[in-house]
A and B are shown apart, each in its own frame.
Chain A
């Protein structure tokens, strides 16, 4: 047999150490050089951070996606600020009955003005992140509405 168990072990440990080292170097580069620029870290205001806390405290990702991450039960919210605008978002978040466009229910969060504004600040900040072209722009625009 060409390959001995010893060679196989060297392949495993050697390969792991090399790729892990490359991974760490790339991660540091990303976190130190790229993320602050691409996410406009200077705009991370108190409100945005409060919005992120609300986002997590209510597990919004359990239905929606943001930056393509989450569940797939409710709309992708990366560009929601641009798409819907403040008024609409506020109405959804402050609704005291489940918001259910097209039949699918959202939890009625009944947010205060402060909370809704923090959430909107978070969405606005998210919407401005450079996501390498995500979400893709549709090639057509269909306006069918099934209600």
Chain B
């Protein structure tokens, strides 16, 4: 690292890892409920586990993004973060809000709107927290003379993500209107502005890891985020097919959703092309694995598997079935979890000075987690497709169908165990790195590709 204030990123990463562990635990609770072992029903019924599972996902990813931003922005702006103490205050307050929300879910303290379960009073605290975060990031950028495209795209993503949280905080009497705006938050986050964050982080990593010229990488970054928004904004229409909105969304949503994989394809081709173009590779093989991996798995999970059920004719049958869970798992993993893992793998040696660039543990972590998640995706997919045919085509009762497809959840659980082992190894490696220290500081004017030469 070049700036002392970058050290705060470590604590964000550590908190993110902790939440991820909890997310996985709650995932297992749900998995076991599905095969009949809902032994915790009295304390943690399925809807509690589900709210915890998805909210922890959102919070740990955002925590990871924030950590990445606190690392990237000083380096791109070439100065220390402003008000570094406030960054720690922000983390602690975020943790407090997160803990209160998660505990609250166990006591019926929530707002039952998928992904936005955080109760309204806590929403206001989230807003204050995010404003503080943005204040520090923007303050640092304004005080610097240097404006890079990577920093701009990352910051735009973070600012829009904050703005888009607001439509989710309005009460509507009409369920359709409520749902309509809920997707402004959820869809425009994950298939819109979060991709800017993903693109910004990916671009930073590629600049550092491949040694390709910044101008080339940033040019393609604009093309990719351009494709993301052009397809993703009107692609919101695929959530409006069957919730009481007009039929024109079937056409517009169908066409633009079909274009959404292009952005991810672009990203995958771009990452691979830059990797091949880079003549000198960074010795941090594990970070490189995760970086190229995120681009490819995002294309498969978010791009292709999304396309698999966004055509209106298909979605009519798959909407509200386990097919969505199939797509959701690999999409979030590939596009967002893996980019955080990539960034943490890149940043840890620089923060701590320990160069665990190509350990067996790190390599196993990568493959076990990825193969495990692929297996889970297949399990959800088989269960989902069977559900579609039995329930929607053949007219079997929901509960009967669930009993028929139960067997696939044993596969999901087995694969989840493999996935969890991979993640466990990754976190063990994270702990092995130890804490960040000032001895890892390198001179400010060290070039981007210093480690390569």
Contact = CB atoms under 8 A, between A and B. Distances in A.
A62 B174 contact: no
**What 8 A-B pairs have minimum CB-CB distances, sorted nearest first?**
A62-B47, A138-B395, A68-B320, A102-B399, A59-B112, A134-B242, A8-B222, A12-B226
B435 interface: no
A91 interface: no
26 contacts: A3-B223, A8-B220, A8-B226, A12-B225, A12-B226, A26-B248, A27-B180, A29-B246, A30-B245, A34-B246, A41-B174, A49-B173, A57-B112, A59-B51, A60-B47, A67-B242, A69-B114, A72-B322, A73-B34, A73-B47, A104-B399, A132-B241, A134-B242, A136-B392, A142-B394, A144-B400
Nearest to B384: A72
B175 A67 contact: yes
B397 A15 contact: no
A26 B400 contact: no
A85 interface: no
Interface of B: 30, 33-34, 36, 38, 41, 45-48, 50-51, 105, 108, 110-114, 117, 149, 173-180, 215, 218-220, 222-223, 225-227, 229-230, 233-234, 236-237, 240-250, 252, 256, 316-317, 319-322, 324-325, 387, 390-400, 402-404
Interface residues of A, number: 74
Nearest to A131: B242
Contacts of B246: 29-30, 33-34, 38
Given A60-B47, A140-B393, A68 B399 contact: no
B3 to A, nearest CB: 27
B395 A30 contact: no
Contacts of A57: 108, 111-112
Highest count of chain B CB atoms <10 Å: which of A5, A22, A41: A5
Given A35-B176, A57-B108, A75 B399 contact: yes
A23 B223 contact: no
A142 to B, nearest CB: 5
A124 interface: no
A39 B244 contact: yes
Contacts of A11: 222-223, 226
A133 B242 contact: yes
B176 A129 contact: yes
A62 B112 contact: yes
Given A62-B47, A103-B403, 17 more contacts: A9-B149, A11-B223, A15-B229, A19-B230, A19-B233, A23-B233, A23-B236, A30-B240, A35-B176, A39-B175, A49-B173, A62-B46, A68-B320, A71-B46, A71-B114, A72-B320, A73-B30
B230 A130 contact: no
Given A11-B222, A15-B230, A41-B174, A56 B111 contact: yes
A104 B402 contact: yes
A66 B175 contact: yes
Contact of A5 (B218, B229, B256): B218
